[in-house]
Amino acid sequence: MQAANQPNGQPTLSDLEQKDAFVARHIGPSTAEQNAMLQALDVDSLDALIEQTVPESIRVPAPINLPSSRTEEEVLAYLKAVAGKNQINRSMIGMGYTDTITPNVILRNVLENPGWYTAYTPYQPEVSQGRLEALLNYQQMVLDLTGLDLANASLLDEATAASEAMTLCKRMAKAKKANAFLIDSNVHPQSISVIETRAEPLGYEVIVGDLNELVDQHEFFGVLAQYPGTTGEINDYAELIDKVHAKKALFCAAADIMSLVLLKSPGELGADVVFGSAQRFGVPMGFGGPHAAFFATRDAYKRSVPGRIIGVSIDARGKQALRMAMQTREQHIRREKATSNICTAQVLLANMAAFYAIYHGPEGLKTIAGRIHRLADILATGLQSKGTELANDTWFDTLTLNLGDKRDAVYDAALAAGINLRKNGNDQLGITFDERSDREAVEALWTAILGENHGLDLDAIDAELSANGSSSIPAAMQRESAILTHPVFNSYHSETEMLRYLKKLENKDISLTHSMIALGSCTMKLNATAEMIPVTWPEFANLHPFAPMDQAQGYKQMIDELEEMLCAITGFDAICMQPNSGAQGEYAGLLAIRNFHQANGDAHRNICLIPTSAHGTNPASAALADMKVVLVKCDDKGNVDIDDMRAKAEEHKDDLSCLMITYPSTHGVYEEGIKEICQIVHDNGGQVYMDGANLNAQVAVSQPAAIGADVSHMNLHKTFCIPHGGGGPGMGPIGVAAHLAPFVANHPVQQIDGPKATNGAVSAAPWGSASILPITYVYIALMGENGLRLATENALLNANYLSTKLGEHYPVLYTGRNNRVAHECIIDIRPLKETSGITEEDVAKRLMDFGFHAPTMSFPVAGTLMIEPTESESKAELDRFIDAMVQIREEIRQVESGEMDADSNPLKHAPHTLEDLIDPEWDRKYDRAQGPFPIPALKESKIWPTVNRIDNVYGDRNLFCSCIPVEAYAED
């Protein structure tokens, strides 16, 4: 463009550069919309709204020392350069992480597809049938491969699954007096560490050694072995399992999912619990995660299984429909009676693993597993023919070589050839094959181990193995049972079929690609495309978590810089990146507090004060950290009752460990007394744990550390843009004040600078689910300090606009100063139930007819809806939601007045499906079209729930958690 003779008053170049262009993309309301909403609230500016809403005493002055905003181009280019400092070798380290090939149809249409990754946990099953079916497939796949009866829909990682297996054994084993859990030395070291961390507060004794000896020497409630072992061997545990059962204890197997394609299942050997990682079914290693852990056990233990289980139920038309089984139990995580605190799991990755199995099918998987095994056989046969000694004489994919004093030289030679191996002990080397392994790898390893002139002929060895077979998987250990016989695993092997199946499921669900999901406490904000892009860069995706640190310098820099940014935001001195969910952050933070008290000679401090309004994970985490929960009352305004709190703190001052408190409160208000509350805890010798789920109402306006917290987790999948993935992944790093920094988790394999080296791990990987950290990094970098402050301000603006507008039609339960709410508000449906019989569930289901996902139902107060719009929703979208809620209120009014029938009305029958529309026997007392089309705008764009209202009770009474039996298909 020619710019001759510019008149005065034109923008400068820096105006035109639009460095903060992203900020206006992330924040939903335009300036004009913001002004209109401010006007509706009768305030002049965002600043004035903050003045009115956020107590002066907790505000922090700008700047908090974050860089200013940058463009998408700039941030991605910078991060690409950082990622380039990671060196991607061929990874043959094993230890529970192997390279894999994500089928591109799954990569693009699931992992990189907001239709899948922005969905919420399927608490509203009528608009979640797609991902519920995917998860049911996952459970079926796990059942087939493990040989057990019941599987859950994922845990966080193999090591935390191991600790859940231990606690299940303690609950279910008949050996009630026994207090020891035995672990074979062939279990991955990170799993042993996480188990030891979990066992210590619970008072269990963990004994590691040779199981064959240990079982005769101890009384125990459970045992754990790795199958195949961490160094590769395949043991037949059948006899050992009999011995364990004779002692009334349970046997757990940590199993490799790919090996199970070829090996006799642990279930067939008699194992009671089988768990492991589903990573190598198409999910990148990602420097430690996220990946789904699987967990299967006997039907008899179903009420004791941690995590979510998908079950089959029926809908109002008697049609088969899926839902989370025992959902009510899950939702409250059983509070202080909890046995597990798992909330966010790994849904997106579990789905990917199931899709991998569906795409390849049983034959495809056998080919892949067979190829991996053959490569290991060829390498081993060649080495043995040249006199190299193997530590294991059975294997699936892992060989351990006894190399004596040659070991380090061989390791270095492999490294020089671009291959990472595992150093084991002083003289052993571990080699693990995977889906990406090939002939070149075998040749390169022969050369590294035997020298250039090894003279081995790969094809000749292969021909001989092919002709004569190998004994590396003993005949008795070979799988004879069929796997994956269900039609779903045998129908979608062409890319066209697969693509359509993925789309079919996706189209059944509501995600952020359709409409706002105003889930209080869950902060379903924009997950910007630019934030997602680095996750699947090979430089981040393909690194093993235990790769030598000099190959992970890109990760190190990214994590260091992110920690610095999170410290600036929270005011803390250090960050522990290990916890891979909010609840795991709580647990990790409480352990740090526990360790701190112990170091000060205060081991007896074990009382944890928790307000009654707390999320269920809080008391659950406290129970895991061996704390005794003392509940603190809330007053009728929803605030912590400070008098009650002071009385309890003083009563327990000699053994007070800490307070767990959410801020702003789960009631959606900034409590004025929060600093006083923290002071009371400190005065009585306790520490303050702040549940950071509501950090979106604090960023760049307030800080947990400045308020008085000693430790707090950040739900990066809420405030910091990691998408919910349909129920995971997440990340829950904790920020700590300096005095707690030495007491946070470390890692037995990859040491972390800062915490004491002897501290145990809380997750399998040193930096948790590291590969999704770039999402948070990019978000903060794009927004910069000013953008983040604007985000917080707009989150408050949107919430207050909603609460004001909805307040004209529904009672708003709690407000803070000047009648303002924080970033979310609770509307009370209980009074309407009194007058109309309409419940919060009816309202939630009716919203589906308008194309909306319901807000959070009955948390933190039963009979209410908690609405959190976030800053990313425009005024136009908020108005659409308000219109729907107003129309619903009008329908309730008609029920109240008797104009509409009390039972046969669109609220009680919601949601409506196409089947309702074509039902030849319409006998309801309202117009047929009023069901699915309450407002005309829906005729232009309509989301159809695919099932009618699901029977909550039926599914739990008739618990059925696998795919429909194959015979049922045959009958059709």
Ligand X SMILES: *Cc1c(COP(=O)(O)O)cnc(C)c1O
Residues at the site binding ligand X, with contacts judged by CB under 6 A:
343-344, 521, 581-583, 615, 617, 662, 666, 691, 693, 715, 730, 732
Q: Which is nearer to ligand X, 240 or 827 (CB)?
A: 827
Q: Which is nearer to ligand X, 410 or 522 (CB)?
A: 522
To ligand X, the closest distance from the beta carbon of 750 in angstroms equals 23
Q: Which is nearer to ligand X, 208 or 695 (CB)?
A: 695
Q: Which is nearer to ligand X, 220 or 663 (CB)?
A: 663
Distances (CA, A) of 167 to 203, 655, 762: 11, 26, 15
The type of residue at 252 is C
The type of residue at 621 is S
Q: Which is nearer to ligand X, 26 or 713 (CB)?
A: 713
CA distance 164 to 222: 12
Q: Which is nearer to ligand X, 233 or 824 (CB)?
A: 824
Q: Which is nearer to ligand X, 407 or 717 (CB)?
A: 717
Tokens 């006083």 — which residue? 676
To ligand X, the closest distance from the beta carbon of 135 in angstroms equals 17
Strands (E), 656-808: 656-662, 687-691, 711-713, 734-736
Secondary structure element (H or E) that encloses residue 432, with its range: strand 428-432
Q: Which is nearer to ligand X, 382 or 582 (CB)?
A: 582
Q: Which is nearer to ligand X, 211 or 690 (CB)?
A: 690
Secondary structure element (H or E) that encloses residue 353, with its range: helix 347-385
Secondary structure element (H or E) that encloses residue 356, with its range: helix 347-385
To ligand X, the closest distance from the beta carbon of 343 in angstroms equals 3
Q: In three state form, how does the secondary structure of 892-955 look?
A: HHHHHHCCCCCCCCCCCCCCCCHHHHHCCCCCCCCCHHHCCCCCHHHHCCCCCCCCCCECHHHH
Q: Measured in Å, how far apart are the chain's first and last C-alpha atoms?
A: 68
Q: What angle do CA 381, 383, 387 make, to 5 degrees?
A: 115
CA distance 672 to 120: 32
To ligand X, the closest distance from the beta carbon of 725 in angstroms equals 11
User: How many helices (H) and strands (E) would you count in the chain?
Assistant: 34, 25
To ligand X, the closest distance from the beta carbon of 273 in angstroms equals 22
Question: How far is residue 25 CA from its own chain's centroid?
Answer: 27
Q: Which is nearer to ligand X, 667 or 880 (CB)?
A: 667
Q: Which is nearer to ligand X, 621 or 684 (CB)?
A: 621
CA distance 677 to 708: 9
Q: Are 362 and 374 in contact (CB under 8 A)?
A: no
To ligand X, the closest distance from the beta carbon of 336 in angstroms equals 15
Q: Which is nearer to ligand X, 432 or 715 (CB)?
A: 715
| Sign of the dihedral through C-alpha 87, 92, 98, 101 | positive
Q: Which is nearer to ligand X, 383 or 575 (CB)?
A: 575
Q: Which is nearer to ligand X, 506 or 691 (CB)?
A: 691
To ligand X, the closest distance from the beta carbon of 583 in angstroms equals 3
| SS3 assignment, position 478 | strand
Q: Which is nearer to ligand X, 696 or 798 (CB)?
A: 696
Q: Which is nearer to ligand X, 208 or 722 (CB)?
A: 722
CA distance 535 to 268: 38
Tokens 């029938």 — which residue? 901
Please name the residues in contact with 581: beta carbons below 8 A apart, sequence gap of 6 or more.
156, 342, 343, 344, 345, 728, 730, 731, 732
To ligand X, the closest distance from the beta carbon of 860 in angstroms equals 8
Q: What is the DSSP letter of 544?
A: -
Nearest to 773 by CA among 497, 575, 515: 575
To ligand X, the closest distance from the beta carbon of 659 in angstroms equals 14
Nearest to 285 by CA among 231, 194, 359, 349: 349
Q: Are 740 and 91 in contact (CB under 8 A)?
A: no
Nearest to 873 by CA among 530, 569, 523: 523
CA distance 136 to 146: 15
To ligand X, the closest distance from the beta carbon of 121 in angstroms equals 8
To ligand X, the closest distance from the beta carbon of 522 in angstroms equals 6
Return the biggest CA–CA distance within the chain.
95
To ligand X, the closest distance from the beta carbon of 691 in angstroms equals 5
| Sign of the dihedral through C-alpha 676, 682, 684, 688 | positive
Nearest to 64 by CA among 555, 699, 862, 539: 699
Q: Which is nearer to ligand X, 117 or 546 (CB)?
A: 117
The type of residue at 116 is W
Backbone φ/ψ region at 288: left (φ over 0), alpha (ψ -120 to 50), beta: left
CA distance 968 to 972: 7
Nearest to 291 by CA among 157, 165, 143: 157
Q: Which residue is nearest to ligand X (CB)?
A: 582
**Tally of CB atoms within 10 A around 431:** 27
CA distance 230 to 248: 27
